[in-house]
Amino acid sequence: MSKVNPAKLLGFLVAVLAVMGGLAVLKGALLIGKHEADTLHLLQVVFRMDAGQWPHLDFMTPIGVLAFVPITFFMGQGAGVGHAIIYAQIALGMVLLPAVWWVGFSRMQGLVAYLFGGVVLVLVLALAFGLSEPTISISMYYNRWAWAISFVAIAVAILPTLGRARPMIDGGIIGLCMVALLLLKMTYFVGFAPAVIVGLAVRKSHKALGVALLVGLIVMGIVTLFMGLAFWQAYLADLLAVAGSDVRPQPGESLATVIMGPAYLGGTLVAVLGVLLMRQTEDQASGVALLVLVPGFIYVTFQNFGNDAQWLGLLAVLLFALRPAVGALNSRGWNLRGALTMVAVAALVMAAPSLINLASSPFSHFRQNAAWYEPVLPRMQAHHDIMVPTVRTSRVEGRVAMLDVGLHHLTEGAMREKPASLLGEGLPRCELEMGLPGWIDAIAQDLERTGLTKDKQMFVADAFSSHWLFGDLAPLQGGAPWYYGGLPGIEAADYLLVPLCPAEPDIRKQVLEAIAARDDISLTEIRRTGLYVLLDIMR
């Protein structure tokens, strides 16, 4: 396989960045097709930060600050939030590009370097969630970012250099990538740090490991200097609170399903076979590193909503790059290069649906008809560049239990759990199915018309609490843009809003039970409509 031409590789990477990023910018707005709740969660965080608040210190979130700082930076430069999201992705692509180029040039041959670079940049610049669902979504974009950063660190740590070792460069890249994961999403740091350390150790890249640790400590020290020790304490507290919460004990399938389920077993077998074959080559170090890496792949996939096994693309790259020379045989006489090639191709084929979906998403986004969309934040003219389909905001639908239409004898067996109650009154069995932005906007506007809520803080008995983005409320100090459990921010709340048809009925019930268990909180109803009950919080 031929050596990579560095100029051609650089040109390819720049072209991918320019085409995918350019198409997103040229559309003129970010047109979200689904996952409005995730979008509102993101908007809550970046608008809080734009106002001077910080994650963990001023509000609760298990997602690291680095997931939001780039977006907030571009908002601070005057960009609408839709463009700020797109600019942030492009900026991350530009930051990663030199490292991606270095990895491809120093460790890969032929088309493998181009495959690696393309996969990393596609993950950064995509406008879709993943899997094979083509709808445009910015949901969990930080997972894509974290996969991309992880791929770079893992490739540097595991793949041997093709020429003279450059431990200062390698260690610097790994250190920056790992501390970025620490500040982006802890799951990736925990999942991949062991493989990175083992990969460097078994290759005796001790200097690179030392440089990586030093760079990581320096960056953490700088963060501590500006944010204080309280930042790390608050970050840890948020992570522990979410880990101990029973609201979302797992974001998707069970661990057993992610390993052995029909949609995942093929990937698991490919990974195991790849490790077994690598252990039969003369490159024992790579076999050990892959052995430690596979559990990290599975753990991170298990921890991510949707359980999208993005690691299959990297596995294919690693196996292609680590193949032994032509003629290498194992004890049974198998052609190891050919066998690893087949396993790598299998991994790439399994990864293809998601990667193709991500790669094509800017093109799909560019083809959307903006006339079918309307702004997520109708009252913020400067941020009308983030939009959702009109039907998904103006068409509000819910699901109700049909207890009163002659079906009580059928439904009561399926509803053994006692329904949520407020001040001794049972609440309707209803769940919001569609129209979250329009529903929140209607409630926020109705509250504003009462004259009760200007600059007041409100705790919402539901998973989402974005009402202050739509009306005259203030964001809840210490609150959680996405509810994970407990009563975060209740001490600062002036009001409690209880939706009569919440997005998450179980969370409404949990919140009301937690408040009822507090002896220092009393509630007084001050307003009731067909959408909500508003209560004054007395302490």
Q: SS in 3 state form for 418-466?
A: CCCEECCEECCCEEEEECHHHHHHHHHHHHHHHCCCCCCEEEECCCECC
In three-state secondary structure terms, 165 is: coil
Domain boundary at 366, 387, 409, which?
A: 366
As given in the structure block, the two tokens for residue 216 are: 């990581």
What separation in angstroms does the CA of 278 have from each of 259, 302, 303? 21, 25, 27
According to the model, what pLDDT value does residue 419 have? 77
Rounded to 5 degrees, what are φ and ψ at 395? Answer: -100, 100
Question: Whole-angstrom Cα distance, residue 394 to residue 15?
Answer: 39
For residue 524, the one-letter residue type is T
Residue 349 covered by a domain:
yes
Residue 301 predicted with pLDDT over 80: yes
Instruction: Select from 14, 190, 166, 20 the least CA-distant residue to 103.
Output: 166
According to the model, what pLDDT value does residue 424 have? 87
**What confidence category does residue 249 fall into, taking pLDDT thresholds of 50, 70 and 90?**
low
Chain Cα centroid distance, residue 484:
15
Q: In terms of domains, do 208 and 81 share one?
A: yes
Q: In terms of domains, do 85 and 172 share one?
A: yes
Look-up of token digits 């495959």: 115
Rounded to 5 degrees, what are φ and ψ at 246? Answer: -100, 10
Residue 422 covered by a domain:
yes
According to the model, what pLDDT value does residue 414 have? 56
Rounded to 5 degrees, what are φ and ψ at 121? Answer: -70, -35
pLDDT tens digit sequence for 344-373? 999 999 999 999 999 999 999 999 999 999
As given in the structure block, the two tokens for residue 339 are: 């066998």
**What confidence category does residue 189 fall into, taking pLDDT thresholds of 50, 70 and 90?**
very high
According to the model, what pLDDT value does residue 55 have? 96
According to the model, what pLDDT value does residue 141 have? 96
Q: What is the 3-state secondary structure (H, E, C) of 337-362?
A: HHHHHHHHHHHHHHHHHHHHHHHHHH
Mean pLDDT value of segment 84-95: 98
Question: Whole-angstrom Cα distance, residue 38 to residue 306?
Answer: 13
According to the model, what pLDDT value does residue 282 have? 85
Residue 418 predicted with pLDDT over 70: yes
Residue 400 predicted with pLDDT over 70: yes
As given in the structure block, the two tokens for residue 330 are: 């194992």
Instruction: Select from 104, 75, 74, 76 the least CA-distant residue to 92.
Output: 74
According to the model, what pLDDT value does residue 251 have? 74
Strand order in the sheet with 522-528: 458-460, 495-499, 532-538, 522-528
Task: Look up residue 435 and give its DSSP letter.
Answer: -
Cα 484-488-494 angle, rounded to 5 deg:
130
Mean pLDDT value of segment 328-354: 90
Q: In terms of domains, do 82 and 185 share one?
A: yes
**What confidence category does residue 328 fall into, taking pLDDT thresholds of 50, 70 and 90?**
confident
Q: In terms of domains, do 106 and 166 share one?
A: yes
Q: In terms of domains, do 83 and 221 share one?
A: yes
Residue 28 predicted with pLDDT over 60: yes
pLDDT tens digit sequence for 440-479? 999 999 999 999 999 999 999 999 899 999 999 999 999 9
The alpha carbon dihedral of 27, 29, 31, 37 has a sign of: positive
Cα 45-46-50 angle, rounded to 5 deg:
120
Look-up of token digits 């239409």: 405
Q: Name 431's bridge partners.
A: 399
Look-up of token digits 């049972």: 426
In three-state secondary structure terms, 80 is: coil
Residue 480 predicted with pLDDT over 90: yes
pLDDT tens digit sequence for 116-133? 999 999 999 999 988 888
Q: Name 538's bridge partners.
A: 522
According to the model, what pLDDT value does residue 165 have? 87
Output the average pLDDT for the chain. 92
Close Cβ partners of 438 (under 8 Å, ≥ 6 residues apart): 393, 394, 395, 396
Q: In terms of domains, do 130 and 189 share one?
A: yes
Domain boundary at 345, 366, 387, which?
A: 366
In three-state secondary structure terms, 160 is: coil
**What confidence category does residue 406 fall into, taking pLDDT thresholds of 50, 70 and 90?**
low
Residue range of the domain that includes 525 = 396-538
What separation in angstroms does the CA of 340 have from each of 66, 331, 428, 504? 37, 15, 58, 47
**What confidence category does residue 408 fall into, taking pLDDT thresholds of 50, 70 and 90?**
low
Point out the least confidently predicted range of 13-17, 250-254, 341-345, 498-502.
250-254
Mean pLDDT value of segment 398-419: 66
Residue 317 predicted with pLDDT over 80: yes
Q: In terms of domains, do 39 and 108 share one?
A: yes
Close Cβ partners of 266 (under 8 Å, ≥ 6 residues apart): 346, 350
141-158 vs 311-322: helix crossing angle, rounded to 10: 20
pLDDT > 90 fraction of the chain, expressed in percent and rounded: 81
Q: In terms of domains, do 407 and 317 share one?
A: no
Question: Whole-angstrom Cα distance, residue 386 to residue 141?
Answer: 15
What separation in angstroms does the CA of 424 have from each of 218, 454, 509, 532? 55, 29, 13, 16
Q: Which residues of 335-371 are buried (b: 16+ CB within 10 A; e: fewer)?
A: ebbebbeebbebbbebbeebbebbbbbbebbeebeee
According to the model, what pLDDT value does residue 405 have? 60
Residue 86 covered by a domain:
yes
According to the model, what pLDDT value does residue 24 have? 97
Mean pLDDT value of segment 372-401: 92
Q: In terms of domains, do 337 and 267 share one?
A: yes
Residue 391 covered by a domain:
no
According to the model, what pLDDT value does residue 62 have? 94
**What confidence category does residue 402 fall into, taking pLDDT thresholds of 50, 70 and 90?**
confident
**What confidence category does residue 185 fall into, taking pLDDT thresholds of 50, 70 and 90?**
very high
pLDDT tens digit sequence for 223-235? 999 999 999 999 9
For 168, other C-beta atoms within 10 Å of its C-beta total 12
Domain boundary at 328, 351, 366, which?
A: 366
What separation in angstroms does the CA of 164 have from each of 1, 148, 161, 183? 19, 26, 7, 32
What separation in angstroms does the CA of 370 have from each of 177, 374, 416, 423? 37, 8, 46, 46
Close Cβ partners of 467 (under 8 Å, ≥ 6 residues apart): 440, 443, 444, 447, 458, 460, 473, 497
Q: In terms of domains, do 338 and 436 share one?
A: no
Q: In terms of domains, do 348 and 421 share one?
A: no
pLDDT > 70 fraction of the chain, expressed in percent and rounded: 96
Residue 409 predicted with pLDDT over 70: no
Number of structural domains, the chain? 2
The larger pLDDT score, comparing residue 285 to residue 193, is at: 193
Q: In terms of domains, do 234 and 320 share one?
A: yes
Residue 1 covered by a domain:
no
Judge contact between 238 and 481, C-beta under 8 A: no
